[in-house]
Amino acid sequence: MRTIPVENDLSGLAALVRSWTVEVAGVDGEGRGSGILWHPNGLIVTNAHVVARTTRQRIKLADGREAEGKLLLRDDRRDIALIQSGISGAPDLPLGNPQALAPGALVLALGHPWGVANAMSLGVVHGVSLDRRGFPRYIAADVRLAPGNSGGPLVDATGRLVGVNAMIVGGLGVAIPVNVVQRVVREASQSGALPFPEAFAA
């Protein structure tokens, strides 16, 4: 397990997660939400429903940097979109294991609910739903989410990404687990949809 230097408080953890959380907005003003800086080469992950029908985005980091983004792929079924941005030098994204999430484990959601930038909410894992092969299908979490959180990260208590916040169902936050995102990225690199396919060969 990689160790991540975090302070023993939530604001320290939030600052760490904020370094790879972005704001996504369509250039025409449509399609607003959050995103995750997935790779140092500028690849961004968000929800398909966040980008809606727009193909060009403005990407904003917490430190104020801005860049243009271009939609590479939109997977409506899995509600994942991949955007190529001009952001370079992003920190390595620490990935967690959704399969290891037990009900009651702490999770944090970062994002931009109702346009409030870089907001954080805290809760616990409600349950992890598995698909027929035993892989996590979605993560239900007892965290308060709002429109604008979509596409943003759900992280575990050490700040590792475990899911992409996507929906609110019956008051619970529902996130797409990181293993599904990895599959989307892998398939995209194999099909030639990514400009740096060698970066994702795994």
Partner 1 sequence: MTALQSLSDDLAAAVDRASAALVSVHARRRIPASGILWKPDVVITNHHVIQREEGIKVTLADGTTVGATLAGRDPATDIAALRLERPAPTSAALGHGPLKVGQLVLALGRPGPAVTAALGVVSSAGGEWRTWSGGRIDQFVSLDVSIYDGFSGGALVNSAGEIVGMNSSGLSRGAAMTIPFPTIIRVAEQLLTSGHMRRGYVGVGLQSVRLPSAIASQLTPARDVGLMVVSVDDGGPAALAGLHIGDVIVAFDGHPASEPSEMLAQLTGDRIGQIAAVRVLRAGAFADLLLTVGERPARAGRR
124 forms part of the interface with partner 1 (CB under 8 A):
yes
Exposure b/e, 89-98, CB count within 10 A at least 16 = b? ebeebbebeb
Stretch that binds partner 1, among 63-71, 74-82, 113-121, 170-178 (CB under 8 A): 170-178
What one-letter code names the amino acid at 159?
G
Closest C-alpha among 201, 153, 200 to residue 177: 153
Q: Active-site residue 150, yes or no?
A: yes
How many angstroms separate the CA atoms of 158 and 202, rounded?
24
Out of 15, 67, 172, 199, the only residue in the binding site for partner 1 (CB under 8 A) is: 172
Cβ closest to partner 1, residue 18 vs residue 60: 18
**Alpha helices per DSSP H over the chain:** 10-18, 48-51, 178-190
- Tell me the per-residue interface mask from 69 to 108 with partner 1, x by CB under 8 A, - otherwise: ---------------------------------xxxxx--
Q: Active-site residue 79, yes or no?
A: yes
For the bound state, the minimum distance from the C-beta of residue 139 to partner 1, rounded and expressed in Å, comes to: 12
Are 62 and 47 contacting, i.e. CB atoms less than 8 angstroms apart?
Answer: no
The conformation of residue 75, written as its DSSP 8-state character, comes to E
Give the active site residues: 49, 79, 150
Site residues (vs partner 1, CB under 8 A): 6-10, 13, 102-106, 123-128, 140, 142, 156-158, 170-172
